[in-house]
Amino acid sequence: MPLQIELFVPDRIPDVRDFNARLQAGGAPEEYVFFETPQPNWLPKDRDRAIFNELFLATDGQVVRGAYALKRQPFRVLGEERTLGYYHHPFSEGIVNRAWSMVGALLLKDVLRREPLTYCLGMGGYDRPLPRMLMAMKWKHLAVPFRFRILRPFRFLRGMKTLRRNAVKARLLDAAALSGLGPLAIRALQAWNGRAGLSGNGDVRVTTEPSFGEWADEVWNGCAPEYPLIAVRDRRSLNVLFPTDNPLFTRLRISVGGAAATLGWAVVSARQMEDHPEYGRLRVGQIVDVLAKPADASRVITAAVRALRQQGADLATCNHSHAAWVAAMDRTGFLRGPSNFIFAASPALAAAIAPFEEHASRIFFTRADGDGLYRFV
């Protein structure tokens, strides 16, 4: 019986659980578990929402052999508003059983049939199965730069687990921290790397907002023409993505001038880690999303860093695809880190912003455009 792709419905819950159990029993990574309810906790479909998730299953009779999630969202593509699909959480039984190795390609074919203008984001690095398949299928792609700024050097040296993989490295980092030389070197490096520093913002005013209001629409209308490819970031979309009842998000409104004209905004979050494989027990700050004109990026980044420092973050992290925003982080003392965060555009999407190579450095993607917000649900 040929595989069928169907919408996840309640009757399929036991079949999805069996699918997940087979993946885990077959040795799939622990995080390879598909959603076990058909109504997503993150961005469920609603008749009044333009941004929503749907879940699909590849079935062999009563047996589920694969699954994926598709987020639909309005974007601005070279000045025209169009709906894009974000393909995420694709799982195939081919991971653990070669007899079903064709399932991954079948899932991808199905998502492009439903939404030709589709992208993938994140994916964990070019060595993973999905990006390898996308490259083979000639999807256009780029690694989204990753930057970080160390806010509490002593705690960073003592707690950054990924740097303390063996006893020798751990002892050296402890010695650097306890002597004071490590924190001094980090501060000097960041100061030199971002010689503009975190000052010189003139009469900038930063306020914490409970939600996105009319001022966010003004920012969107003023900024949208600057970016050839960007998700719609008006107040209606932003209040769906960053709901007011979620205490993990801090919304910063950055204004300037006597009239307090809003030049941009940032959403930040600081979370305490517990035995994280990379961050250990550090308090990690994330610049989740931002918007302003490219010329104002440094002032927005500065406001975001200051807010994260006030929230007790040990470091601030950010992924951003736009060259001006990456340069703004460099100017404000951020350090370059390795990126496993990949953007890939389907052939139809790449054609819609052709020539892709000409626009690649100015497309606008942050972690908010992927499934990163799912972790805040």
State the pLDDT at residue 50: 94
Domain residue limits, the chain: 4-143, 146-151+196-336
Residue 48's pLDDT is what? 82
What gap in Å lies between CA 65 and CA 62, rounded to an integer? 10
What's the CA gap between 217 and 224, in Å, rounded? 10
Q: Which of 258, 256, 311 is nearest to 286 (CA)?
A: 311
CATH 3.40.630.30 fits 146-151+196-336, yes or no: yes
What are 173-206's pLDDT values in tens digits?
999 999 999 899 999 988 887 765 544 456 789 9
- pTM for this predicted structure: 0.93
Q: What is the DSSP letter of 137?
A: T
Sign of the Cα torsion 158, 160, 166, 169 reads negative
Domain 4-143 identical in fold to domain 146-151+196-336:
yes
Phi, psi of 267 (to 5 degrees): -115, 125
Q: What local confidence, expressed as pLDDT, does residue 199 receive?
A: 47
Give the pair of three-digit tokens for residue 371: 């499934």
Task: Indicate the CATH number for domain 4-143.
Answer: 3.40.630.30
So what's the pLDDT on residue 179?
Answer: 93
Specify the pLDDT at position 201.
56
pLDDT tens for 87-118 read 999 999 999 999 999 999 999 999 999 999 99
pLDDT tens-digit readout, 222-257: 999 999 999 999 999 999 999 999 999 999 999 987
Summarised one tens digit per residue, pLDDT across range 263-319 is 999 999 999 999 899 999 999 999 999 999 999 999 999 999 999 999 999 999 999
pLDDT of residue 206: 92
Average pLDDT value for residue range 37-53? 91
